Structure 1
Amino acid sequence: MTGPVTELDSRFSSPDATATPWTAARERLGDAEVFWLSTVRPDGRPHVTPLLAVWLDEALYFCTGPDERKAHNLAQNANCILTTGTSSLHKGLDLVVEGAVRRVKDTATLRRIADEYVAKYGSEWTFDVGEEAFTNQVGGVALVFELRPDTAFGFAKGVYGQTRWRF
């Protein structure tokens, strides 16, 4: 796989900034514990909620119940944004990943994603794989979504730099 086109936006960067490599962003996406999902309600109003996500095979994966607001929003409009970062002003790397999601339904991929949740978050986040979704022991269902980046932005702090990656 070739990497994305990487560009530093000098308008929003320190004079001595350099573009953040995509490899650093990918590592941060893999390590981040909490993400913020932004979707659009059917009436056009935004909706933002925190959730857990895993990075696997160059995509972010997350799950939600079929009756939750974010599931309804994504059924109407698959375009969304996942963000992660720090609340620190002077250190760290904040990331914004834009794209359209797709439902993951095949058992083999769901199993790999479920295994990745346990590897990243521990056994407390064990999911069973049911028919086209995650399930749990009390009968709950969680739809699984894949967000493969179209565009991503990195906001480096300290030496401030805004990097854009286009896929």
Structure 2
Amino acid sequence: MPETEPTAELLFSAADATPMSTDEATIKPWAQARDELAAAPKAWLSTSRADGRPHVMPVLAVWSDGAVHVSTRPGSIKGQNLVRDPRCVVTVGTEVIDLVVEGKARRLGGRELDPVIAAFDAKYGWRMAVRDGRLYDETLPGAPEYVFFAISPTTAFGYGPDGLTATRWRF
């Protein structure tokens, strides 16, 4: 599925920007933000508990096929939260940009897991074993089971390292 380019715009208007820049030349292209997201060694995943309290955890993440992909144990709080309410936020901070990506998560299964497993192996050297359609890390004691979620962005925000520039992308 080809990736569509989101609409990029300044996050702040002249009326509310002080001290933020309103120079449209500071708008960052999504490709640059996406590449920073893809290269980040870890991300932070924010979900909502059943009672509405926030839950934030560091996760390994890869970018593939227009989505952020994360892994978790099926019984983890973040995994349970994503199944119950797919709305979530992924954040990363790099030397180039700080990103906040709002999106909706979907648990992956079947053949759609293959490219994600390959992407995790390429980025982290993390090989998953597939048995009976389920994923296991056989390098760990007890070979724990994992699940993958694809998080499709709905809106993203990027803040420059200068603290004065900001871009919003609408997907």
TM-score by length of 1: 0.88
Q: 1:134 to 1:164 in 2, by over 3 A?
A: same
1:161 aligns with 2:165: yes
State the match for 1:114 in structure 2.
117
Which structure 2 residue ranges, 5 or more long, are not aligned?
none
State the match for 2:96 in structure 1.
92
CA distance in structure 2 between the aligned counterparts of 1:8 and 1:133, rounded to whole angstroms = 43
TM-score by length of 2: 0.86
Query: Partner amino acid for 1:135?
Result: Y
Provide the aligned C-alpha RMSD in A.
Answer: 1.7
What SS is found at the alignment partner of 1:66? coil
Query: Partner amino acid for 2:112?
Result: T
What SS is found at the alignment partner of 1:147? strand
State the match for 1:38 in structure 2.
46
**Superposed CA offset, 1:70-91 (max 9, x none):** 01111221100000014xxxx5
State the match for 2:155 in structure 1.
151
Residue 66 of structure 1: how far off its partner (Å): 1.2
CA distance in structure 2 between the aligned counterparts of 1:131 and 1:83, rounded to whole angstroms = 33
Residue 154 of structure 1: how far off its partner (Å): 0.5
* 2:21–2:166 CA contact under 8 A, matched in 1: no
State the match for 2:59 in structure 1.
51
* 1:114–1:128 CA contact under 8 A, matched in 2: no
CA distance in structure 2 between the aligned counterparts of 1:142 and 1:159, rounded to whole angstroms = 37
Which structure 1 residue ranges, 5 or more long, are not aligned?
none
Report the identity percentage.
42
CA distance in structure 2 between the aligned counterparts of 1:151 and 1:166, rounded to whole angstroms = 5
1:13 aligns with 2:20: yes
**Superposed CA offset, 1:31-72 (max 9, x none):** 011100000000110000001000011111111111111011
* 1:105–1:131 CA contact under 8 A, matched in 2: no
